């Protein structure tokens, strides 16, 4: 009897450990919103007041993916695809319509203090800093809310403010700060309790190039040093390419890709790029017959051709043009992601 108990406990431990490896588990998550449909104009407003027509908006349709502990995953898709909705559900703000979710072993919706103390949600357009007061007041408030010991607080604050270069701004009224300064202080407020899981929604939106780079460097560092799990949405290509190894692409509430950036290229690139160096001037029109001209600056020419015909195209080029050098490249990941953002339904190419 005793042996069986021990065995059972062992089994439990091992499954628990397995679950523990995953920071985020999402299975068959669905979220529907109810929206009132309003017709145009005054008569429409009156009509919707008298008999409101409800419409179900299906924001998330059965999505499934997982994130390992310490992983930094890019979560991308066009506007309205369901990225922010997913982040809000994961941080316990929205009630899921159906499906199973678990973050650090917790059901986010219960919003247990032990759970909330380990996560943070940063949205580029939201602010938790008190607008009329200096940022230090909000930070002090967060220290009390998250019950951070004084010593730890001093250390973390010192580290964060020097990394993000905002030490001198702590005592300035928040409304007097520039957006970039404010965003960095928002990040300090969001990271003060050293969350193990970080949901970042457009963290670099509205920042200039230098500030963006600072933010990226910081996130990269934070992820590595703290072994923090980060799920990041961004419209900024550089954010994704520099930070995320793995991306999850969502479109119209469905996951259409989940894997490494490299894989994204091999699966979704429909075209290849051929760059040529010409030894002599040649007829431009003839290039157009072979592929789409991406760049034409003598002596360099870049053509985009469907990947199935790349061999034929290059043979033809070598045969009919004064080619000094020819290289074949993959479609850059930026351009694939850009197509995703445009809402272009990217279909898997047949070649695998």
Partner 1 sequence: MKNPVLKRLSRYFAVFKISFHQEFAYRVSFIMWRVRNIFQIFIVFFLWDTVFSTQGRVIFGYDRTRMLTYVFGLIIVRAFVLSSRAADVAGHVARGELSDYLIRPIDYFKYWFTRDLSSKFLNISFASVETLVLYLILRPPFFIQTSPFSIVSFILSIVLAMLIFFMLLFIVNSVPFWAPEMGWGSHFLLTVIFVEFLSGALFPLDVLPIAFQNILSFTPFPYLIFFPLQIYLGKVGTAILIKGILVSAAWVFILWLVMKSVWNKGLKAYQAYGR
Instruction: Give the residues lining the site for partner 1 (CB under 8 A).
Output: 33-34, 84, 88, 91-95, 111, 113, 116-117, 119-121, 123, 125-128, 130, 132-133, 137-138, 140-147, 201
Q: Tell me the closest approach of the beta carbon of residue 235 to partner 1, in angstroms.
A: 13
Q: Tell me the closest approach of the beta carbon of residue 71 to partner 1, in angstroms.
A: 21
CB atoms within 10 A of CB 170: 15
Q: In whole angstroms, give the CA distance from residue 211 to residue 183.
A: 10
Q: Tell me the closest approach of the beta carbon of residue 144 to partner 1, in angstroms.
A: 3
Reference 242, options 275, 215, 267, 205; nearest CA is: 215
Give whichever of 51 and 281 is closer to partner 1, judged by the CB atom: 51
Give whichever of 199 and 268 is closer to partner 1, judged by the CB atom: 199
Give whichever of 92 and 291 is closer to partner 1, judged by the CB atom: 92
Q: What are the Cα distances from residue 124, in Å, to 67, 228, 232, 342?
A: 22, 19, 11, 21
Q: Tell me the closest approach of the beta carbon of residue 185 to partner 1, in angstroms.
A: 14
Handedness of CA 165, 129, 226, 89 (dihedral sign): negative
Give whichever of 25 and 93 is closer to partner 1, judged by the CB atom: 93
Q: Tell me the closest approach of the beta carbon of residue 84 to partner 1, in angstroms.
A: 5
Q: In whole angstroms, give the CA distance from residue 197 to residue 72.
A: 10
Give whichever of 134 and 291 is closer to partner 1, judged by the CB atom: 134
Reference 305, options 281, 287, 284; nearest CA is: 287
Q: Tell me the closest approach of the beta carbon of residue 158 to partner 1, in angstroms.
A: 20
Tokens standing for 128?
Answer: 């938790």
Give whichever of 4 and 42 is closer to partner 1, judged by the CB atom: 42
Cβ-proximal residues to 104 (8 Å cutoff; 6+ apart), any chain: 23, 115, 118, 119, 196, 197
Q: Tell me the closest approach of the beta carbon of residue 79 to partner 1, in angstroms.
A: 10
Give whichever of 93 and 328 is closer to partner 1, judged by the CB atom: 93
Q: In whole angstroms, give the CA distance from residue 341 to residue 158.
A: 38
Reference 207, options 239, 232, 175; nearest CA is: 239
Give whichever of 111 and 320 is closer to partner 1, judged by the CB atom: 111
To the nearest 10 degrees (0 to 180), the angle between helices 135-145 and 150-163 is: 140
Sheet holding 271-278, edge to edge: 292-297, 300-306, 271-278, 323-330
Q: Tell me the closest approach of the beta carbon of residue 145 to partner 1, in angstroms.
A: 5
């Amino acid at each position: 009897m005793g042996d069986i108990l021990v065995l059972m406990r062992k089994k439990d431990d091992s499954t628990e450990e397995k679950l523990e490896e995953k920071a985020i588990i999402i299975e068959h998550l669905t979220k529907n919103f109810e929206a009132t449909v309003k017709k145009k104009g005054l008569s429409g407003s009156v009509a919707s007041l008298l008999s409101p027509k409800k419409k179900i908006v299906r924001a998330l349709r059965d999505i499934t993916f997982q994130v390992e502990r310490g992983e930094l995953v890019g979560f991308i898709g066009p506007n309205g695809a369901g990225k922010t909705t997913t982040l809000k559900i994961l941080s316990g703000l929205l009630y899921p319509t159906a499906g199973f979710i678990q973050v650090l072993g917790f059901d986010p919706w219960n919003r247990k203090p032990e759970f909330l103390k380990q996560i943070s949600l940063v949205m580029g357009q939201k602010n938790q800093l008190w607008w009329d007061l200096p940022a230090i007041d909000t930070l002090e408030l967060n220290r009390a809310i998250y019950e951070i010991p004084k010593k730890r607080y001093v250390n973390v604050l010192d580290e964060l403010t020097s990394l993000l270069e905002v030490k001198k701004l702590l005592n300035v009224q928040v409304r007097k700060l520039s957006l970039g300064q404010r965003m960095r202080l928002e990040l300090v407020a969001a990271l003060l309790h050293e969350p193990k899981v970080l949901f970042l929604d457009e963290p670099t939106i509205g920042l200039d190039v230098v500030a963006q780079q600072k933010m990226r460097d910081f996130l990269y560092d934070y992820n590595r040093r703290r072994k923090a799990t980060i799920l990041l949405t961004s419209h900024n290509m550089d954010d994704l390419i520099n930070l995320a190894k793995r991306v999850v692409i969502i479109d119209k509430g469905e996951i259409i890709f989940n894997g490494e950036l490299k894989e994204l290229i091999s699966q979704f690139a429909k075209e290849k790029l051929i760059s040529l160096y010409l030894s002599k001037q040649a007829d431009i029109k003839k290039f157009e017959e072979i592929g789409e001209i991406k760049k034409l600056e003598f002596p360099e020419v870049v053509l985009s051709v469907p990947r199935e015909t790349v061999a034929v195209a290059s043979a033809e080029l070598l045969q009919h043009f004064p080619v000094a050098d020819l290289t074949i490249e993959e479609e850059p990941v930026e351009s694939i992601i850009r197509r995703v953002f445009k809402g272009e339904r990217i279909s898997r190419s047949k070649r695998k």
